[in-house]
Structure 1
Amino acid sequence: MFESFTQERIDTGEVEINLRRGGSGPPLLLLHGYPQTHVMWHGVAPLLAQNFTVVCADLRGYGNSSKPLGEADHSSYSKRAMAADMVRVMEHLGYTSFRVAGHDRGGRVTHRLCLDWPYHVERAAVLDIVPTHKVFATTNQAVSTGYYHWFFLIQPNGLPERMIGQDPDYYLQEKLARWSALKQNFAPEAVEAYQRAFRDPACIHATCEDYRAAASIDLEHDEADLQKKIGCPLLVLWGLRGLMHENYDVPATWRERASDVTAKGIDCGHFIPEERPLETLDALSNFFAE
């Protein structure tokens, strides 16, 4: 995977971000979700690199990027901090403006990027999410059962870290199976990369902090920006066999938060780029080529 890409590690001043970069053309940043790494883009990135300079980054706390200890207010894993990481990475690579697509947690970082750094983001795509504030404001029994980890991972005193750490491979594989509709579509090399990263106790802690931030400081930031809309063109992709589709009108939800929305449901579960790589490639290529 990523044979034509170079691997780099960039110091942002706060953390070091691991990434792979390849291709030529306009810069396109790809951000992964939980509990994965940048490797989740393996079926899409090499083909996008035919027309774009593709940057696949590990978010802070994930993969081979730095994993700082969580602060008392969880600010070190706020989406604001994660978004700023990516701006600094892209500036280091020579790009003052760029396109960005984010899946799951990476989509939440993308949302914050669009709000905090509007002049840096030319076009954006979010995959299989609705805004964090919307989820917490409208959670019902179905959402809290399907996405129970939102409430498990935010528990204090190292409780989830200790429990996940007893068998991280099982925990990760359960998540992949629970949220996918086309389970045969996970490449063994990708699953191995996710397991290797997730066996690190620092990664388990960091990913818990990601969710703790979502339930605290991220909500404060989101509430302050409820009247602020994403100004750039936004592509919304979601799985027609996933929890988001079952519980939300996904495009309508994003039209409340963005001025220019293109929306497309895809016949798969949560892990869109791995379950339906060609459909994902087609949607992203057409949208980002404009």
Structure 2
Amino acid sequence: MIRLPGFDYHRVRVTDDVALSVAVAGSGSPIVLLHGFPQTHLMWRHVAAELSTDHTVLVPDLRGYGDSDKPAETGADTYSKRTMAADIVALAQHFGHSRFALAGHDRGALVAFRAGLDHPGAISQLACLDVLPTLDMWDVLHGTAAAVGFHLYLMAQPAGLPEQLISASADAFFGHFLDLWIKDPAAIPGEVRTAYLAAARAAVPSIVADYRASAGIDVDHDRTDRAAGNRLTMPVTVLQQDWGAALGYEATALWSSWAPKLEHRTVDAGHFMAEEDPATVTAAIRALLER
């Protein structure tokens, strides 16, 4: 098992039936880093090490991923971002942090976004890497350009078929995204890639359930917040690739509707920017923590 050097590992029970695996290091003001798909907490290995020099850094595997528990999908809320956000707040509170900064990439960014809306008193600053909020993501996917998100539609299907199809060729499925979404393949060395594929292979039902929730209950939650005029009250930084032009939207405008204290910028790295360009990501998070 690959571990983050210098980090202590814990298992923390965040609900009656779910414990999260989390790596912890450093001292100072706390920040929690949430990984994306098809990764684990290891994606933060460079950024976490740097931030731990002057911050308390918590790097968990999300529920359903990595070494964290993978409860069976018993209802729409099992893997809702609301449920997963509550996990993270409970995790931070376990270590005595009632208020903390939060940064997420991809799926982790959607969890972070929901945490910011549901728990504004707990989240001091928020960073989201290379996503759109769930409601906006579905709104901008249309026509042939939406083919880039084929996995979103596959995993949105009722339980059974997507799990069967993906499990039958798990390494090819998850490896496809590790290859397609990266500009510098050397940023994910062989041993890390192997760890990602092994973790994803062991978590197909829960990963599909996470995505299925984003085509259902997560959209409902976003719509309710939009109708109520709820917005992110904390300083927010968004780092994204420049893929808005291909899909016909303006990312800054979409994010600004949710985050009035927004700093938005595009980066030259691929989707896995925390691994491809950790210096830029770390600098952006540090700047956010000063806001």
Alignment TM-score > 0.5, same fold: yes
| Partner of residue 63 from structure 1, selected from 45, 66, 73 | 66
Who is 1:274 aligned against? Answer: 275
Identity of aligned residues (%): 35
Q: What is the CA-CA distance between 1:58 and the residue it aligns to?
A: 0.7
Give the counterpart letter for 1:191 in structure 2: R
Give the counterpart letter for 1:255 in structure 2: S
Who is 1:176 aligned against? Answer: 178
Q: What is the CA-CA distance between 1:143 and the residue it aligns to?
A: 4.3
Who is 1:186 aligned against? Answer: 188
Q: What CA distance in whole angstroms lies between the structure 2 residues aligned with 1:258 and 1:184? A: 34
Q: What is the CA-CA distance between 1:252 and the residue it aligns to?
A: 1.7
Q: In the TM superposition, what are the counterparts of 1:234-245 in structure 2 within 5 Å? A: 234-240=236-242, 243-244=243-244
Who is 1:207 aligned against? Answer: 207
Local SS of the residue matching 2:265 = strand
Q: In the TM superposition, what are the counterparts of 1:120-159 in structure 2 within 5 Å? A: 120-159=122-161
Q: What is the CA-CA distance between 1:86 and the residue it aligns to?
A: 0.4
- Contact kept in structure 2, 1:101 and 1:126, CA below 8 Å: yes
Q: Scaled by the length of structure 1, what TM-score is found?
A: 0.94
Kindly provide the CA deviation profile for residues 48-71 of structure 1, in whole angstroms up to 9, marking residues without a partner as x.
111211101111000011101112
Who is 2:48 aligned against? Answer: 45
Who is 2:112 aligned against? Answer: 110
The total of aligned residue pairs comes to 285
Structure 1: tracts of 5 or more residues without a match: none
Who is 2:82 aligned against? Answer: 80
Q: What is the CA-CA distance between 1:245 and the residue it aligns to?
A: 6.0
- Contact kept in structure 2, 1:239 and 1:245, CA below 8 Å: no
Q: What is the CA-CA distance between 1:194 and the residue it aligns to?
A: 0.8
- Contact kept in structure 2, 1:43 and 1:277, CA below 8 Å: yes
Q: What CA distance in whole angstroms lies between the structure 2 residues aligned with 1:92 and 1:142? A: 46
Q: What CA distance in whole angstroms lies between the structure 2 residues aligned with 1:220 and 1:188? A: 39
Q: What CA distance in whole angstroms lies between the structure 2 residues aligned with 1:180 and 1:245? A: 19
Kindly provide the CA deviation profile for residues 65-97 of structure 1, in whole angstroms up to 9, marking residues without a partner as x.
11011124x210000000000000000010000
Pairing 1:254–2:255 present: yes
Who is 2:232 aligned against? Answer: 230
Local SS of the residue matching 2:78 = helix
Structure 2: tracts of 5 or more residues without a match: none
Q: Scaled by the length of structure 2, what TM-score is found?
A: 0.94
**Pair 113,159 (structure 1): closer, same or farther in 2 beyond 3 Å:** same
Local SS of the residue matching 2:33 = strand
Q: What CA distance in whole angstroms lies between the structure 2 residues aligned with 1:127 and 1:118? A: 19
Q: What CA distance in whole angstroms lies between the structure 1 residues aligned with 2:236 and 2:264? A: 8
Q: What CA distance in whole angstroms lies between the structure 1 residues aligned with 2:170 and 2:26? A: 34
- Contact kept in structure 2, 1:5 and 1:22, CA below 8 Å: yes
